[in-house]
Amino acid sequence: MDKKQKLQTLSGMRDILPEEQVYFKRVQKAVESITQYYSFSRIDTPILEQAELFIKGTGADTDAVSKEMYSFRTKGGDLVALRPEFTPSIARAYIEGGMYNLPQPVKLWTSGPLFRHERPQAGRYRQFFQFDFEALGDKSPSIDCQVIQMSYDILKDLAFKNITIEVNSIGDQECRPSFKKILAGYFKSKKVSLCSDCQRRLKENPLRILDCKEEKCQQVKAGAPQIIDHLCEACHAHFKQVLEFLDELELPYTLNPYLVRGLDYYTKTVFEIVEKSEDGSSQGSLVGGGRYDNLVKMLGGRDTPAMGAAGGIDRIVNLMKTRELKPDKKPAEKPEIFLAQLGQMAKRKSLKLFEEFRSAKISVAESFSKDSLRTQLNTANKMGIRWVLIFGQKEALEEFITLRDMDSGVQSEIPLSKVVEEMKEKINKK
């Protein structure tokens, strides 16, 4: 490497700095509370998997695998990949862990980093974070609605207002192949108006054209035949029930007949949740998911219908910031006490005292690394803390502590053995 070249994050990757952590934590809290309520258990799968899992599962000709997957050969010669999504890993874990022996559905959730070598742009990163939940082993439309409801609840809990659920059914192996032919026929007649990527998609999978964001393809798409008019009886009945449940749950949804989602394994229900700003513009989906009744079998497991969803945490956090949605309903409590200390002996003893306060559930700020009393008092002042405990050489030797009330400037002395108890009283009296 050029000696002068600066070491910095890779393109499309970033540090999540301390000030942003509160937002990430808030999203995590919302996800934890909803998944717990709906009895989903936490699972963690490895970040690195056999590339084959995603080639088979996500689909070899999907963008996520063909263009964006980080894959490489290990020294031992194995072809491995950084996970571009969670669902195939969870389906693999379900098979590998023999979870079909458990009462069904098996409900699992996870969160963590994913990797896609996408063109970096606003809201798109090459390492990004998702939360994800999957219910495996249940074919009933009610589970589709439960997953949609949970996704919606998480965003509501995070104070998003103008959110809409877009739903569609993309059929199954019974009805999709014939619909693809109908769709290909339509797009062939408009081939010259499609972007070059879509001209290729026309051969590989015409459904993907419906996903294209190019303006000219959007125009062609507007007149395309709709899959809901071509569903087989089973898919039609399933979708009808999903919509009836959504009505019953009073969830605000719209039918989007062109929603297909970019992955191979989806069957029947697909959905996305988008947030619209005041001017009606949208920054893309915040959560997306659907049913995938064939994936587990495709990966070597039993016939296992399943439904899942994934939410983009980075995008949710970015929107929370621009919409000024507070990371926490209750602002983080500021510490009640500041512990200032001077000299080696006091420092040593104040470490123990700090721990005693923690056991008593009283939050204490300190600056063990700062020496001057003035600096420490200034810090306490800036933090708006009323009580400062000053622990110097004399105090440490004579086993007492000086309490300074920052509001009045009055100082008093407390025996070291009584300090936790007395401070507890003072704080409770406030």
Q: What angle do CA 364, 370, 371 make, to 5 degrees?
A: 115
Spatial separation of the C-alpha atoms in residues 244 and 144, rounded to whole Å? 12
Shortest distance (Å) from residue 288 CB to ligand AMP:
4
Spatial separation of the C-alpha atoms in residues 394 and 319, rounded to whole Å? 53
Residue closer to ligand AMP (CB basis): 104 or 164: 164
Contact 53, 88 (CB under 8 A): yes
Shortest distance (Å) from residue 32 CB to ligand AMP:
18
Spatial separation of the C-alpha atoms in residues 37 and 157, rounded to whole Å? 13
Spatial separation of the C-alpha atoms in residues 420 and 358, rounded to whole Å? 10
Residue closer to ligand AMP (CB basis): 270 or 342: 270
Shortest distance (Å) from residue 13 CB to ligand AMP:
11
Residue closer to ligand AMP (CB basis): 305 or 312: 312
Residue closer to ligand AMP (CB basis): 285 or 341: 285
Residue closer to ligand AMP (CB basis): 124 or 180: 124
Residue closer to ligand AMP (CB basis): 40 or 129: 129
Instruction: Show the tokens assigned to 174.
Output: 């019974």
Shortest distance (Å) from residue 115 CB to ligand AMP:
9
Residues lying near ligand AMP in the complex (CB under 6 A): 85, 116, 118, 123-125, 128, 130, 285-288, 310, 312, 314-315
Shortest distance (Å) from residue 320 CB to ligand AMP:
13
Q: Give the residue from 278, 288, 279, 280 showing the smallest Cα distance to 315.
A: 288
Residue closer to ligand AMP (CB basis): 14 or 386: 14
Neighbours of 124 (CB within 10 A): 15
Residue closer to ligand AMP (CB basis): 168 or 285: 285
Which residues, at least 6 apart from 35, have a Cβ–Cβ distance to it below 8 Å? 42, 109, 133, 150
Instruction: Show the tokens assigned to 362.
Output: 């009283």
Shortest distance (Å) from residue 418 CB to ligand AMP:
54
Shortest distance (Å) from residue 65 CB to ligand AMP:
12
Instruction: Show the tokens assigned to 265.
Output: 């394994």
Residue closer to ligand AMP (CB basis): 9 or 193: 9
Residue closer to ligand AMP (CB basis): 60 or 397: 60
Q: How far is CA 248 from CA 145, 241, 251, in A?
A: 10, 10, 8
* Residue whose CB is nearest to ligand AMP in the complex, by number: 312
Residue closer to ligand AMP (CB basis): 27 or 380: 27
Spatial separation of the C-alpha atoms in residues 280 and 263, rounded to whole Å? 27
Shortest distance (Å) from residue 43 CB to ligand AMP:
17
Shortest distance (Å) from residue 237 CB to ligand AMP:
26
Shortest distance (Å) from residue 380 CB to ligand AMP:
40
Contact 47, 82 (CB under 8 A): yes
Instruction: Show the tokens assigned to 249.
Output: 């749950």
Shortest distance (Å) from residue 118 CB to ligand AMP:
5
Instruction: Show the tokens assigned to 111.
Output: 């969160």
